[in-house]
Structure 1
Amino acid sequence: MRVSAYVILPAGVLAVLAGLLGPVPPSPASDGKDSGPVTGPGIVRGFDRPARGFAPADTVLRRATPAAEGLDPAPIDAFVGRLEDWTDPARGADQLFPGATALLAHEGAVVTRHASGDAVRYARPGRLLPPSRRVPARTDTIYDLASLSKLFTSIVAVQQIEAGRLRLDAPAARYLPAFAAHGKGGITIEQLLTHTSGLPADPRPPLWQVSGGLPARKQAILAARPSARPGARYRYSDLNMLSVQLVVEKVTGKRLDVLVREGITEPLRMRDTAYRPPAAWRPRIAATSYSVRPDRGLVRGTVHDDNAWAMGGVAGHAGVFSTVDDLAVLAQALLNGGTYRDRRILGPRAVELLAHNYTERFPGDEHGLGFELDQAWYMGGLSSPRTLGHTGFTGTSLVIDLRSRSFAILLTNRVHPENETPSINPARRALAQALARSIPVRAPGGGRSWFDGPTVGPDPGERDPGERDPGAAEAGGDDSTLTSGRLPATVPGRTAGQLLEGGPLHVSYDAFVDADDTDRFVLERSADGGRTWQEVPGTARSGHHGRSWERVHAQLPGGPYPEGLRLRWRYTATALAGGRGVNLSGVLVTRGTRVLLDSDCPGAPLTAHGWHPLPPPWPLARAAGLPSGGTAFGCPPGTGPGPGPVH
């Protein structure tokens, strides 16, 4: 609750000075401490209080409703409704995939687990199965993870680094001398795991066209020719992870599927996760595409990727099948620092290797070991430098946000019955955005506040649906404005210009900015009744800002302003934007000891276009034991359209 005054009396002067010079209530994220997990019904850490370090190692997933965990259920419910639309064949071109299963979790609580559509809908392209023969998607449906399999390969590689069998900076040829062919002798394990090796994207020719069986196909991987020198560029490549597969198999003497089973799925009791799933799983497996070349017919229960199929279904880049529940256990284990139910698959320092950005020199392609970092095109509102994840061509995605201790999993069969489909990145972003916006952001002073964030729309210029977004600059944007009335309010016998003369004006407000670097949030002023606007220097903001509140201060000249002064806060989101959005509160405009505008006063002249007013307090704050906020001290009763009388 802020202190302000409208009548100049000695006590009032003291109150005003206390309000202007006293410390602003600190952001919950600014104290530099992590109080650990927040527990209890209706209590949640808040998106503006990012966690530091890993979750407690004994955190175990549990089922809960969003409201019981202090989350706003509305964004999650809205996503579930959209998921139903995206799987509805009656939507025509707006259908993104036949079937999908989604899961959201925050601080160990699974708050959404929902399936929609069909796991099997088509017999072949253009031929729908009759309803009686379709297989509905379920929450335990097993999906082909496609490139999410790369994460399992990466974890196995880091396990070998922990065990001392691999060195991150060592050339792969140290372990596989034949890999040095065609000038590849200097490519390191790190470069393979971060896609900076210089290898092309795919084997050429495709492995399924290489005769001679598995030995010949492994030799083809070793003999691949680089397309760039090591470290010179980022290029996402299946060959990188196929090469890592051969390295870990060589140093351990075990096949990759055995390493994944012994090192990941068995310790974590991921009972529905495997390469080459057994026939008994087939009724629960979602179908993928109808393959003509190679001639495989409708693919269901065998790996979709043809190169992985040529490797016998076990490949470094593809081949793993799983469910949302099993992937949730893996995600929570990483949030816990590598442990789940007293079973450790990695140490905390090893998990940090997965989340460390090794590709800062390639902006937009941030990458840890196997995991992608801060990719707004599918991480949406959960994106940040401490967010890791991956996508898969079959229509899968996993997003793990270390700062909010949350994760979002979307598994679909978007390639059923054919590969060329609309991009599903809007659905991926929408899922992450739903969770991000369900986690509250609370104004430091507890008073009136406003919110706006990027919308989740189509992908302009999408080139590779389901796997990589080109990251090209999007045309256009969406502006939202919060505009003041004329300042100051009219006083009999004095003009607006006279009221603003005699000294500079001070503007301050609380801003929570968690946005894409291409977004823009800025304060502007107008001295001609709103016909033209000028940016107030020093107020422009974009990017993540550590998910913390900032008290922004600006000074304006005292006038004259013959037509009065108007202020507006403008937020511009690009067509494809990451981050949760922008919150604004605590607006205070003063000249000397005179308060011209206090946004916490009833009737404060602020008009929102695009911004969403949040009631004071946040609806769930009372259950969370937070202050209730309310009217600023000193606002006169019955305040009308202006900020109150000026004396």
Structure 2
Amino acid sequence: MELLGYRKVWVPRDLSEVTTIDHAAEADPADAGMSRAGIDRIWGAVENLYRTGLQPALTIVVRRRGQVVMKRAIGCLRGNGPGEREDRVALSPDAPICLFSASKAISALLVHKLAEDGALRLDDRVADYIPEFAAHGKGRVTIRQLLAHRAGIPTLPIKHPDPSLLRHWDAMVSLLCLAPPFDPRFEKQAYHALTGGFIVGELVRRVGKIELREALQQWLAEPLGLQRLSFGLPPERRHEAPLHYRTGPKPVWPITAIATRVLGVDFERAVTASNDDGYLSSVVPAGNLYASADDACRIFQMLLEGGTLEGRRVLREDTVREAVRPVGRIQFDGMLNLPIRFSPAFMLGENPVGLWGPNCREAFGHIGFMTVLCWADPRRDLSVAILNTGKSVAPAAVLQMARVVGAITRACKPVR
């Protein structure tokens, strides 16, 4: 359906036609301290989100007390984008989907791994390792500030950047090194949507003497047994991944202005670019990690368990504590215009209510392109990954996703 710029996907009356559940992977809710009714309420909230017609494809994995209690998909891999009338192919729960900005949290762990190995310290200056970053007073910026969106480089120092620029790593790093800072005193938090990731990645390359794809594979994917985690998506695997679509109403001002300020390009162009070969073939540390929901959830479960998963240590406990430690007090972000706390990796929860539900101050995670959500909540012994392909400014998209989060937190009572 596409009427006056409003885009929705076809939704069958019987959602079982577009639902896939990995029953073999799902444990008995009672073994994880949950009820079947709680699981049903979560899934009911997911189904209500799908019924909006704003999400062509969605996968979800929920772990409670270390056990998978939900591993499901709803929607189509192919044939059900807005206005499409092709043969529909059901989505697998293991389909790789782009994490968008949730990529930042995982890319940050590569820097924390270097710190764990003694190759750098978070309170070292970025310019100690990338000397050219010191231009315009940025020599005082620490790695911790960079990871917590306080490095003063939320945008590129050029007007109307073309998405193809993301393919040119050295040019991106050079532009950001030469950029004057957003805040010369480096006291203001300003979300670095894509920019900071290139400096983070350059740190990994220069300090670790390793390319990011190899670091990701060796330090996270292999130890955790992640089969689908990658920067971008190689051509031979693209048939496994659903496309991304702009859904809902056509964005208008002020949404267009906010999107352009945060993303660097307009909303619709950003969605289109995410399906292009240039984006899929590049390394964009802050924006183009692909993973299955299970892969993403396993990473957050590892963090929840203090750096181990299934008896295998991936990071030290003190490394995980440092990754989730808040940087400064909560403040209105200079780009997002929302009150939010960051650690040197994650968006943090709040009391009495925050990004990750009610009374979630201990929780940590990251949002990607508004409705991709990955988080862990130690208070509830919970880890979650919700990946999806609909990019929408429709209020229902955010409202219904908030109801999914609410259903999850209500079903998982605090364990301490």
- Of 378, 388, 397 in structure 2, the residue corresponding to residue 412 of structure 1 is 388
Quote the Cα distance in structure 1 between the aligned partners of 2:155 and 2:270: 23
What's 1:369 paired with? 344
Residues 200-224 of structure 1 show CA distances to partners (whole Å, capped at 9, x for unaligned) of 2456342636599443233112222
- Please point out which of 301, 307, 310 is paired with 1:332: 301
DSSP-derived class of the 2:303 partner:
helix
Deviation at 1:137, TM superposition (A): 2.2
Between the aligned partners of 1:424 and 1:148, the Cα distance in structure 2 is: 18
Residue by residue over 1:279-301, the C-alpha shift from the partner in whole angstroms, topping out at 9 and shown as x without a partner, is 33223201114899979978548
* Corresponding position of 2:329: 360
Equivalent in the alignment of 1:566? none
1:318-375 CA distance string (max 9 Å, x none): 1110111111221221112111234322100000011111122537322111111115
Match of 1:109 in 2: 67
Structure 1 residues 67 and 214, CA, compared in 2 at 3 Å: closer, same or farther?
Answer: closer
Q: Which residue of 2 aligns with 1:174?
A: 128
2:290 pairs, out of 290, 303, 321, with 321
Letter in 2 for 1:110: V
Structure 1 counterpart SS, 2:404 = helix
Indicate yes or no: 2:318 matched with 1:349. yes
Distance in 2 (CA, whole Å) between partners of 1:151 and 1:370 is 5
| Aligned: 1:392 with 2:368 | yes
Distance 1:166 1:122, change over 3 A: same
Match of 1:69 in 2: 32
Amino acid at match of 2:404: L
Structure 2 unaligned residues grouped into runs of 5+: 1-23, 247-265, 333-338
Distance 2:178 2:304 in 1: 38
Task: Kindly provide the CA deviation profile for residues 44-76 of structure 1, in whole angstroms up to 9, marking residues without a partner as x.
Answer: xxxxxxxxxxxxxxxxx9731223433133233
Query: Are the structure 2 counterparts of residues 378 and 250 from structure 1 closer, same or farther at C-alpha, using a change threshold of 3 Å?
Result: same
- Hey, what does 1:186 align to over in structure 2? 140
Cα distance in structure 2, aligned partners of 1:244 and 1:292: 25
Partner of 2:202: 246
Report the identity percentage.
Answer: 24
> Could you tell me which amino acid in structure 1 is paired with residue 407 of structure 2?
A
Cα distance, 1:79 vs structure 2? 2.6
Amino acid at match of 1:380: G
> CA separation in 2, counterparts of 1:298 and 1:362?
31
CA–CA distance in structure 1, aligned partners of residues 403 and 166 of structure 2: 44
1:426 partnered with 2:399: yes
- How far apart are the structure 2 equivalents of 1:129 and 1:269? 37
Partner of 1:488: none
Cα distance, 1:241 vs. partner? 2.3
CA RMSD of aligned residues (A): 3.0
Retained in 2: the 8 A contact 1:144–1:320?
Answer: yes
Contact 1:196 1:235 in 2 (8 A): yes
Residue 423 and residue 344 in structure 1: after superposition, are their counterparts in 2 closer, same or farther (change >3 A)? Answer: farther
Partner residue of 2:84 out of 103, 124, 128: 128
Structure 1 433/202 Cα, relative in aligned 2: closer, same or farther at 3 Å?
Answer: farther
Distance 1:349 1:314 in 2: 29
Match of 2:42 in 1: 79
CA distance, structure 1, for counterparts of residue 74 and residue 61 of structure 2: 12
User: For each residue in 1:121-152, what CA deviation from the matched residue of structure 2 results, as whole angstroms up to 9, or x when unmatched?
Assistant: 456xx53233x1x3322211210111111112
Secondary structure at 2:282 match in 1:
coil
What is the SS of the residue equivalent to 2:217? helix
- What's 2:17 paired with? none
Alpha carbons 1:96, 1:422 under 8 Å: kept:
no
Q: Does 1:437 align with 2:410?
A: yes
> In 2, distance between residues paired with 1:380 and 1:182?
40
Looking at structure 1, the residues matched to 405 and 270 of structure 2 have their Cα atoms a distance apart, in angstroms, of 37
Higher helix proportion (structure 1 or 2): 2
TM-score, structure 2 length as denominator?
0.78
Whole-angstrom distance in 2 between the partners of 1:302 and 1:151: 24
CA 1:70–1:296: 2 relative to 1, 3 Å: closer
Preserved CA contact (<8 Å) 1:394 1:413:
no
- Counterparts of 1:278 and 1:435 in 2: how far apart (Å)? 34
User: 1:206-265, CA deviations, whole angstroms, 9 ceiling, x for partnerless residues?
Assistant: 263659944323311222221112432111113222211111211112221211111111
TM-score scaled by structure 1? 0.52
The alignment partner of 1:200 has SS state of coil
- Quick check: 294-303 or 312-321, which moved more? 294-303
Q: What is the distance in 1 between the residues matched to 2:94 and 2:361?
A: 31
Q: Quick one: distance in 2 between partners of 1:116 and 1:211? A: 31
2:168 and 2:31 map into 1 onto residues whose CA distance is 55
User: How far is 1:394 from its partner?
Assistant: 6.8
Q: Any idea what the Cα deviations from partners look like across 1:87-107, whole Å, max 9, x if unmatched?
A: 23xxxxx33311111121110
**1:486-534 per-position Cα deviation (integer Å, ceiling 9, x unaligned):** xxxxxxxxxxxxxxxxxxxxxxxxxxxxxxxxxxxxxxxxxxxxxxxxx
In the alignment, the residues of structure 1 paired with residue 396 and residue 277 of structure 2 have an alpha-carbon distance, to the nearest angstrom, of: 23
> Kindly tell me: are residues 255 and 327 of structure 1, through their superposed partners in 2, closer, same or farther at Cα, counting changes over 3 Å?
same
Please give the secondary structure, in 2, of the residue aligned with 1:249.
helix
Deviates more, 1:328-337 or 1:76-85: 76-85
* 2:3 aligned partner: none
Whole-angstrom CA distance in 2 between matches of 1:212 and 1:135:
31
2:42 partner amino acid: F
Which structure 1 segments of 5+ residues have no match? 1-60, 89-93, 304-308, 442-546, 549-647
Please give the alpha-carbon distance, in whole angstroms, between the structure 2 residues aligned to 1:422 and 1:148. 21
Give 1:204-215 correspondences, 5 Å limit.
Answer: 204-205=158-159, 206=161, 208=163, 210=165, 213-215=168-170
